[in-house]
Amino acid sequence: MPVKAESPAPAAEDELLLLRLASPAPSASPPSSAGEEEEDDEDGRPRRPQDGARRAGRQRGPPRAARTAETAQRIKRSRRLKANNRERNRMHNLNAALDALRDVLPTFPEDAKLTKIETLRFAHNYIWALTETLRLAGAARLGGAAETAPGAAAEGSPSPASSWSGGASPAPSASPYACTLSPGSPAGSASDAERWPPPRGRFAPPPPPHRCL
């Protein structure tokens, strides 16, 4: 399965993150927000002067107001980091689900990795094709010979079983894969994002005639 080594192991990843966050990384964060908080204290806690020091007339550290502001800043930063962590995990979960989806989708060559958008579109079409196959098989079992005749499938497209079985070469001619929307399709234009088949020689079932993602 074509899973790119994209992220370190979760535990190590967290440590990496902490390391990165502990030192102001030059490239890790966008300029819009990078300067927002500079605080990378060693311990992350506001310093509390010893009792003796407090009496010493000379105040050590920033004045009280500054300290509370600093604390607020620190709390804010801490929450942000936690939110970042959650967001990262969320996206990792999403990617894991996407990988699981990739695993059950046939591709050619087998180790080709579909992009996210391709995976979703392919899955959509694949499900449609499987559904169509089931429908036609059921119809055939019921003796609907006329319905299984070539070209009798949805809108004149060939039977899915014949059209995309076993790594058949994808586009015979442009139209069945081009996703140029049958009439009434709600999807707008067949932009480059909707090109079909995908450019890297992937095996792809025909898109459903009703609508393209």
Site for DNA in 177-206 (CB under 7 A): 192-193
Among 14, 67, 70, 92, binds DNA (CB under 7 A): 92
State which residue, 61 or 109, has the beta carbon closest to DNA. Answer: 109
Nearest to 2 by CA among 76, 134, 105, 71: 105
Among 53, 66, 91, 149, binds DNA (CB under 7 A): 91
Please state, in angstroms and rounded to a whole number, the distance separating the CA atoms of residues 115 and 99: 10
| Residue 41 vs residues 21, 38, 45, 69, 157: alpha-carbon distances, Å | 11, 9, 8, 15, 66
Decide if 174 contacts 203 (C-beta within 8 A).
no
Decide if 120 contacts 210 (C-beta within 8 A).
no
End-to-end CA distance of the chain: 25
Among 15, 72, 116, 134, binds DNA (CB under 7 A): 116
Please state, in angstroms and rounded to a whole number, the distance separating the CA atoms of residues 27 and 14: 18
How many residues of this chain bind DNA (CB under 7 A)? 34
Site for DNA in 145-164 (CB under 7 A): none
Shortest Å distance, C-beta 25 to DNA? 9
Site for DNA in 2-61 (CB under 7 A): 6-7, 13, 17, 20-21, 27-34, 36
The window from 43-51, 81-89, 139-147, 176-184 that contacts DNA (CB under 7 A) reads 81-89
Please state, in angstroms and rounded to a whole number, the distance separating the CA atoms of residues 213 and 190: 10
The window from 80-88, 122-130, 158-166, 171-179 that contacts DNA (CB under 7 A) reads 80-88
Nearest to 97 by CA among 107, 89, 108: 89
116: number of CA atoms within 13 Å, CB side? 7
State which residue, 43 or 192, has the beta carbon closest to DNA. Answer: 192
- Note the helical H segments in 142-171: 145-148, 160-163
Shortest Å distance, C-beta 53 to DNA? 31
User: Is 90 near DNA (CB under 7 A)?
Assistant: yes
Q: Which residues bind DNA (CB under 7 A)?
A: 6-7, 13, 17, 20-21, 27-34, 36, 79-88, 90-92, 95, 115-117, 192-193
